[in-house]
């Protein structure tokens, strides 16, 4: 076990200690025990920058299930490190924030921090695993811990609903991804990501390629809340705000982004990948930003905004994948999309994290998150207002914040799509910049709504539960740090470019790099009067215009009927599945044993007949049959007549007597086929069972003792005739198909010689195959005890009288 | 020759049993059926005896005795059932 393994597993190990710490240090907020861990991990991961910036990687492996090719192998490269830094860095800030946000008296802190640590460890595992199965395990652990965190206030119905919804959707995606992993394993024969990347050419040409790709994308899209799977994210906002900030903006929802980025070298050579990732990303981008405008809850705005921004990163990754086809980095003309994706990934984590914390502060200090009740908070909460301004303006893409830079690069990437001449991008590619631009207008719009509807306008004290005031300093530390990062990255973007962005790009597009080469990333604020600049200006102008006239056109949101919304579809679908499956179950599970017997027997006929026909197994061979004697014919006649008469008997007594007659005739058959022991036993048993039948018959209740014939049912008749026919046919065929002689000669020779008996049947029963006899004795014992227990044990007797 | 005679006997017995089965099926009362069944049992004794002569074995002699006992027990049980409605009376002390 290396230090790196310990680093990944340390959150899980600390989670074990949390209950003890919580119990024994009651007066200290449990979060303080947590805080050092992500901070230390952050420091630990920082030192890897010196490794990855030269394109090197660190690989550590720990045997787990080596026989199946599953090893706990961890790899640090540019991409993994970027995510690890995000997870630990924002993790530390979120823990700090939650210490002030959650009250130790009212909340169950131990469970909260255990879930959070589980999540942190799982997320580190996802981004650093080099083994797909390990990645999947951690992936499911993130779904699971996210489920627990969303449902943290489990007394609230909405929390449980949101938790269930996110669980269903992300686990659906997770399982799809497992399918993809297994298909990939079939193709490549390895679970290792690095080896898979090396074999990408074989993967692309394999017939299973498209299925694998779609399954992987299902996993990524559900996790990263891409259209149409984004619906769980807004409902996940029922979680405590630190959770929303951490999981649902900065880390977990980026696991899908991570997966797409990680798998780009494997899949990106196909047009399907480029179109799906970029197309779905752009749709999500537009739909998310469009839907965010109509929200009235601050967290819902941020949730849809997260959806939208994730779509943006996703589309950039898709377009960046197309760059692989140009095979050169010299001009860096097309790979700008990947740069933008990585850069925006960082930016989004910073400003969205801070915005969620700001929302939490507003909620905490006013008692509401409803935008219609808020207003004019600027004077009460100046610091929070400043933070909100920084966050939203960065989100909207206004200089000098970092969002501006990534948005410019986003436009650049989108504009260059239209120039590409592969995968029919030259015809439809023009849609990308158009949609992207209109989505940016809406992004600008909801950013403005977020900040100005909350902090400016009329102060409405009568609608607020508390008198608003500035948050405590501890709560402000984390958003202040994040907001300063927004500004620092905005003004000095090149701090990141060589240390983080370039190595991450190296992991996404490794095939473009020769040995020792690295991407030359240079981000600058000012690059002349380019089309991108005018696009940004257009966004700002149109966005402001729309914001001013907001009340006049919001009616368009009511045009789209609620009935057709995806949430309605999900709820209705879930209900429909339940109702339909209940109804289907009701139709065939009707509680009648008769019906089940019909199923069993018809299936028996079906299976056996199909097999016989399919295998052409029916064969009649009379070469070694014994001659039929008249006496046997008579016996058969007696038996058949008795058996058939049972069906038409009017009284039960007649049936029992006839059944006895059948039994005795069988005994007679045993006699003429020379089986004295069988005949003896059969006679005794038959007598006893006839007596038992009489007993049962006597105890039938008086009321429903209508002695009538069995009613005729055509299905039953057909099925019984079918079963009889099929069994007869099989018996005849199996007799005609004798493959080898029986082993009975051995018994004939050795019954006396080896076992010292003359009765061969009995010797077989107690000597050669005594084990069967032993357990048949057991069966009889159990039956006797069971009968005794059933007669004697009357546990409901007392209750019935009450 | 001897075998033929035996076979003829078995055949006649079988025909007799068919007749008895007819009575079992037809009825009309339960008592008719029970008596017919008892007679079938006794015919079985004869059939088994004849068959064991035919097969030249004494392995079936137990069966003859057993059928005798069972036919008796069975008939008695049926009779008791018809008369009293029960086969075995639970009331060992005779209090009821």
Chain B residues with CB under 8 Å of A661 CB are 21, 24, 37, 40
Chain B residues with CB under 8 Å of A674 CB are 55, 57, 59
Reported confidence tier of residue B96, pLDDT bands at 50, 70, 90: very low
Q: In whole angstroms, how far apart are CA A147 and each of A112, A239, A245, B74? A: 12, 9, 15, 70
Q: How many interface pairs between A and B have CB atoms less than 8 angstroms apart?
A: 93
Number of domains composing chain A: 4
What distance in Å separates the CA atoms of residue A384 and residue A453, rounded to the nearest whole number?
14
Instruction: Identify the H or E element spanning A71.
Output: strand A70-76
Q: Are A458 and A377 in contact (CB under 8 A)?
A: no
Rounded to the nearest angstrom, the minimum Cα separation between B84 and chain A is 11
Instruction: Assess if residue B48 is contained within a domain.
Output: yes
Q: Are A351 and A391 in contact (CB under 8 A)?
A: yes
Rounded to the nearest angstrom, the minimum Cα separation between A767 and chain B is 21
User: Is residue A639 domain-shared with residue A572, that is, in the same domain?
Assistant: no
CA A662 centroid distance within chain: 59
pLDDT < 70 regions, chain A: 326-333, 421-427, 468, 513-528, 560-564, 701-711, 797-802
User: Is residue A105 domain-shared with residue A23, that is, in the same domain?
Assistant: yes
In the prediction, which pLDDT does A526 show? 59
Instruction: Assess if residue A303 is contained within a domain.
Output: no
3-class secondary structure per residue, A20-53 = HHHHHCCCCCCHHHHCHHHHHHHHHHHCCHHHHC
Q: Least CB-CB distance to B24: which of A658, A690, A694? A: A658
Instruction: Assess if residue B77 is contained within a domain.
Output: yes
Rounded to the nearest angstrom, the minimum Cα separation between A619 and chain B is 33
Chain B residues with CB under 8 Å of A634 CB are 11, 14-15, 17-18
Q: Which residues pair with A192 in a beta bridge?
A: A131
In the prediction, which pLDDT does A802 show? 46
Residue A698 touches chain B, beta carbons under 8 Å: yes
How many separate helices (H) and strands (E) can be counted in chain A?
37, 2
Instruction: Assess if residue A290 is contained within a domain.
Output: no
Instruction: Assess if residue A718 is contained within a domain.
Output: no
The 3-state DSSP class for residue A64 equals strand
Buried b (16+ CB within 10 A) or exposed e, A3-28: ebbebbbbbbebbeebeebbeeeeee
Q: Least CB-CB distance to B87: which of A671, A679, A695? A: A695
Which residue does chain A place closest to B77, by CA atoms? A691
Number of domains composing chain B: 1
User: Is residue A59 domain-shared with residue A134, that is, in the same domain?
Assistant: yes
What distance in Å separates the CA atoms of residue A171 and residue A144, rounded to the nearest whole number?
9
What distance in Å separates the CA atoms of residue A747 and residue A150, rounded to the nearest whole number?
71
User: Is residue A464 domain-shared with residue A575, that is, in the same domain?
Assistant: yes
Instruction: Assess if residue B94 is contained within a domain.
Output: no
Instruction: Assess if residue A251 is contained within a domain.
Output: yes
Stated pTM of the model:
0.80
Chain B residues with CB under 8 Å of A630 CB are 7, 11
User: Is residue A550 domain-shared with residue A649, that is, in the same domain?
Assistant: no
Q: Are A374 and A461 in contact (CB under 8 A)?
A: no
CB contact (8 A) between residue B48 and residue A671: yes
Rg, Å, chain A Cα set: 37
Instruction: Assess if residue A326 is contained within a domain.
Output: no
User: Is residue A25 domain-shared with residue A120, that is, in the same domain?
Assistant: yes
CB contact (8 A) between residue A671 and residue B47: yes
Boundary-marking domain end, from A222, A238, A267 = A267
CB contact (8 A) between residue A684 and residue B70: yes
Q: What is the pLDDT of residues B13-53, one digit of tens each?
A: 888 988 888 888 777 888 888 888 888 888 888 888 888 88
Chain B residues with CB under 8 Å of A658 CB are 24-25
Chain B residues with CB under 8 Å of A654 CB are 24-25, 27, 33
Q: Are A665 and B13 in contact (CB under 8 A)?
A: no
What distance in Å separates the CA atoms of residue A470 and residue A466, rounded to the nearest whole number?
12
Rounded to the nearest angstrom, the minimum Cα separation between B36 and chain A is 10
Question: Which stretches within A323-381 are classed as H helix?
Answer: 336-366
What distance in Å separates the CA atoms of residue A301 and residue A281, rounded to the nearest whole number?
19
Instruction: Assess if residue A488 is contained within a domain.
Output: yes
Instruction: Assess if residue A307 is contained within a domain.
Output: no
Residue with tokens 């439809």: A428
Q: Are A134 and A164 in contact (CB under 8 A)?
A: no
pLDDT for residue B95 is more than 70: no
User: Is residue A253 domain-shared with residue A352, that is, in the same domain?
Assistant: no
**Residue A297 backbone dihedrals phi, psi, to 5 degrees:** -95, 135
In the prediction, which pLDDT does A203 show? 80
Q: Least CB-CB distance to B25: which of A645, A672, A691? A: A645
User: Is residue A681 domain-shared with residue A796, that is, in the same domain?
Assistant: no
Instruction: Assess if residue B42 is contained within a domain.
Output: yes
In the prediction, which pLDDT does A581 show? 93
User: Is residue A72 domain-shared with residue A212, that is, in the same domain?
Assistant: yes
Q: Least CB-CB distance to A661: which of B40, B63, B67? A: B40
Instruction: Assess if residue B28 is contained within a domain.
Output: yes
Q: Which residues pair with A71 in a beta bridge?
A: A63
Instruction: Assess if residue B91 is contained within a domain.
Output: no
Work out the burial of residue A415: count CB atoms within 10 Å of its CB; fewer than 13 is exposed, 13-18 middle, 19 or more buried. buried
Chain A residues with CB under 8 Å of B55 CB are 672, 674
User: Is residue A671 domain-shared with residue A796, that is, in the same domain?
Assistant: no
CB contact (8 A) between residue A642 and residue B25: yes
What distance in Å separates the CA atoms of residue B14 and residue A629, rounded to the nearest whole number?
13
Residue A501 sits in which domain range?
339-419+430-506+519-580
Interface test with B, best of A626, A654, A687, A760 (most B CBs within 10 A): A687
User: Is residue A348 domain-shared with residue A484, that is, in the same domain?
Assistant: yes
CB contact (8 A) between residue B21 and residue A642: yes
Q: Least CB-CB distance to A683: which of B24, B67, B81? A: B67
What DSSP string runs through A192-211?
BHHHHHHTHHHHHTSTTHHH
**Distant-in-sequence, close-in-space partners of A158: CB < 8 Å, separation ≥ 6:** A235, A238
Instruction: Assess if residue A530 is contained within a domain.
Output: yes
The 3-state DSSP class for residue A58 equals strand
Rounded to the nearest angstrom, the minimum Cα separation between A676 and chain B is 6
Chain A residues with CB under 8 Å of B44 CB are 664, 667-668
Q: List the Cα angle A790/A795/A801 in 5-degree steps.
A: 125
Residue B76 sits in which domain range?
1-84
Q: In whole angstroms, how far apart are CA A554 and each of A370, A375, A419, A638? A: 17, 19, 36, 90
In the prediction, which pLDDT does A595 show? 86
User: Is residue A761 domain-shared with residue A681, that is, in the same domain?
Assistant: no
Q: Least CB-CB distance to B37: which of A629, A630, A660? A: A660
Which residue does chain A place closest to B66, by CA atoms? A680
Which residue does chain B place closest to A643, by CA atoms? B25
CB contact (8 A) between residue B41 and residue A654: no
Chain A residues with CB under 8 Å of B40 CB are 661, 664
Q: Least CB-CB distance to A676: which of B30, B62, B78? A: B62
CB contact (8 A) between residue A683 and residue B59: no
Largest CA distance in chain B: 65
Instruction: Identify the H or E element spanning A413.
Output: helix A402-417
Q: Least CB-CB distance to A676: which of B21, B44, B59? A: B59
């Amino acid at each position: 076990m290396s230090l790196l393994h310990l680093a990944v597993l340390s959150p899980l190990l600390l989670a074990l200690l949390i209950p003890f710490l919580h119990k024994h240090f009651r007066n200290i907020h449990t979060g303080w025990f947590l805080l050092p861990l992500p901070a230390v991990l952050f420091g630990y991961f920082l030192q890897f920058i010196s490794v990855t910036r030269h394109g090197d990687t660190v690989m550590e492996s720990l045997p787990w299930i080596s026989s199946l090719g599953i090893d706990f192998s961890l790899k640090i490269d540019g991409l993994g490190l970027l995510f690890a830094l995000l997870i630990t860095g924002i993790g530390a800030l979120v823990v700090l924030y939650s210490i002030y946000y959650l009250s130790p008296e009212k909340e169950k802190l131990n469970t909260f921090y255990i879930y959070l640590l589980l999540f942190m460890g799982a997320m580190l595992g996802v981004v650093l695993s080099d083994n797909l199965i390990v990645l999947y395990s951690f992936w499911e652990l993130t779904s699971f811990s996210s489920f627990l965190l969303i449902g943290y206030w489990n007394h609230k119905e909405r929390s449980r609903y949101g938790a269930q919804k996110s669980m269903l959707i992300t686990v659906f995606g997770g399982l799809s991804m497992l399918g993809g992993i297994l298909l990939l394993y079939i193709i490549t024969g390895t679970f290792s990501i690095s080896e898979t990347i090396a074999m990408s050419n074989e993967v692309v040409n394999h017939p299973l390629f498209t299925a694998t790709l779609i399954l992987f994308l299902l996993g990524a899209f559900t996790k990263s809340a891409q259209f149409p799977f984004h619906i769980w994210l807004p409902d996940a906002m029922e979680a405590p705000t630190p959770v929303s900030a951490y999981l649902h903006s900065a880390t977990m929802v980026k696991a899908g982004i991570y997966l797409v980025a990680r798998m780009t070298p494997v899949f990106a050579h196909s047009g399907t990948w480029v179109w799906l990732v970029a197309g779905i990303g752009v749709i999500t981008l537009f739909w998310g930003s469009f839907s965010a405008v109509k929200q009235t809850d601050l967290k819902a705005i941020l949730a849809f905004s997260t959806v939208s921004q994730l779509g943006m990163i996703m589309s950039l990754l898709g377009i960046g994948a197309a760059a692989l086809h140009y095979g050169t980095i010299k001009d860096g003309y097309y790979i700008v999309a990947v740069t933008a994706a990585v850069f925006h990934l960082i930016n989004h984590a910073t400003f969205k994290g801070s915005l969620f914390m700001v929302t939490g502060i507003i909620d905490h200090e006013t008692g509401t998150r409803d935008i219609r009740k808020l207003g004019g908070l600027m004077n009460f909460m100046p610091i929070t207002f400043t933070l909100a301004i920084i966050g939203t303006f960065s989100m909207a893409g206004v200089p000098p914040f970092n969002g501006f830079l990534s948005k410019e690069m986003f436009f650049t990437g989108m504009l260059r799509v239209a120039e590409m001449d592969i995968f029919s991008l030259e015809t439809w590619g023009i849609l990308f910049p158009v949609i992207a631009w209109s989505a940016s207008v809406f992004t600008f719009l909801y950013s403005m709504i977020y900040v100005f509807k909350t902090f400016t306008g009329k102060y409405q004290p009568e609608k607020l539960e508390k008198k608003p005031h500035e948050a405590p300093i501890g709560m402000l530390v984390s958003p202040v740090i994040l907001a300063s990062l927004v500004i620092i990255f905005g003004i000095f973007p090149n701090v990141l470019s060589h240390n983080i962005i370039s190595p991450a790009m190296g992991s996404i597009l490794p095939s473009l790099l020769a040995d020792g080469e690295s991407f030359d990333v240079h981000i600058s604020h000012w690059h002349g009067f380019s089309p991108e600049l005018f696009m940004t200006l257009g966004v700002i102008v149109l966005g402001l215009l729309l914001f001013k006239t907001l009340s006049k056109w919001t009616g368009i949101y009511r045009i789209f009927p609620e009935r057709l919304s995806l949430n309605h579809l999900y709820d209705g679908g879930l209900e429909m599945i339940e109702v339909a499956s209940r109804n289907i179950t009701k139709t065939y599970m009707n509680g009648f044993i008769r019906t089940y017997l019909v199923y069993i027997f018809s299936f028996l006929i079906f299976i056996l007949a199909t097999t016989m026909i399919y295998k052409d197994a029916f064969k009649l061979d009379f070469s070694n049959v014994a001659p039929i004697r008249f006496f046997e014919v008579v016996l058969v006649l007696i038996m058949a007549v008795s058996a058939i008469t049972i069906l038409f008997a009017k009284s039960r007594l007649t049936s029992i007597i006839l059944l006895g007659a059948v039994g005795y005739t069988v005994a007679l058959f045993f006699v003429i086929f020379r089986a004295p022991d069988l005949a003896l036993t059969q006679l005794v048993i038959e007598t006893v069972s006839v007596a038992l039948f009489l007993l049962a018959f006597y105890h039938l209740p008086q009321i429903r003792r209508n002695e009538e014939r069995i009613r005729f049912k055509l299905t039953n008749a057909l099925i019984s005739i079918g079963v009889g026919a099929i069994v007869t046919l099989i018996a005849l065929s199996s007799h005609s198909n004798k493959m080898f002689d029986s082993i009975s000669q051995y018994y004939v020779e050795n019954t006396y010689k080896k076992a010292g008996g003359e009765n061969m049947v009995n010797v077989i029963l107690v000597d050669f195959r005594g084990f069967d006899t032993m357990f048949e004795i057991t069966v009889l014992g159990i039956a006797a005890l069971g009968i005794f227990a059933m007669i004697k044990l009357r546990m409901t007797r007392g209750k019935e009288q009450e | 020759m001897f075998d033929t005679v035996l076979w003829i006997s078995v055949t006649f017995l079988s025909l007799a049993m068919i007749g008895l089965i007819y009575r079992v099926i037809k009825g009309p009362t339960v008592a008719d059926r029970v008596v017919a069944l008892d007679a079938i049992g006794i015919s079985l004794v004869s059939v088994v005896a004849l068959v064991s002569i035919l097969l030249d074995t004494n392995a079936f002699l137990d069966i003859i005795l057993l059928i005798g006992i069972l036919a008796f027990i069975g008939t008695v049980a049926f009779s008791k059932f018809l008369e009293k409605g029960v086969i075995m009376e639970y009331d060992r002390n005779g209090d009821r």
